[in-house]
A and B are shown apart, each in its own frame.
Chain A
């Protein structure tokens, strides 16, 4: 049930001061977390958008190629469409794995320390 545990929003954490935020922001540990996030998420975003736009453009301007039958009535267009689904599922899974192994431990370490282990 959704309401069993007490809401975390009401727990009293020590809220870090602007100076503490700034200090952490400058730290090598935080820089590493940010790099690890951005160097994964940004190129991947560009890649899946390019792959999606390529699919849109092929649908528009390469009708003959898309209509090529591969087996039975299944053509290239159909397979590429399903491939968009497959890559979406794959990227979602891949990011979740990266985040839970590479990002979460670093983020939690910083958070725990900043909130004074409250």
Chain B
């Protein structure tokens, strides 16, 4: 089990002092699905980016914590008592990923020249390696110092191929792609390069499925999808929760995806804060009445 906890989170744009988040409180636990809704500019995407560690935002107050239980990463990784709570704001984005945090981007980067397969296998292996380092016992420190510096001499060939080998990874990738009904040719294409909007979103879900996060933040994963692809993406999200126990924070403008991915909790964000939280019925109410109703209820003005 894992729990992501945002406490009184304040953030602004790093260059400039435009305040965007003004005290966000939110908790997402393994196996739960949370929908985060709200009008444009309310701070939903910024919340996601701050969780992932985007350098364009500066946190001025509050904290982002990740709590892990002993068995979060299975038998191989032993999590001592003093290693169960992490302040994500002190960690690099790749370290946050190693701890099980995943962000699906609203606009995934298009990366020419790097194949999906190569990237994902590198990411999976890097995550396993980083995780081992983060949870290394104190006794392990001496060992680490010894192989400090280059893992291989700079003039030698590339480092070994990592925990998950090429053949094993192909197998994993193929299975996950079949589950998501994705064309196997995707594997050899360059990362998101020339992908349609829908293909990019599907690819984000595929990556989550392979990296098996404890907490996944999905930033508008549903926007721009046709109904077939919305169905595929939704199946993928439900599988994350049902098969891997992932906790999902789903940021969306629309009620539509919530018909396929039923949230346990719905939060409404207004002006950089969570203005209202409730169950799935809240989403339906928003669909009918819009956000002004929440504004009126919370602040007494429309």
Partners in one complex: no
Chain A interfacial positions (CB closer than 8 Å to B) = none
Interface residues of B (CB under 8 A from A): none
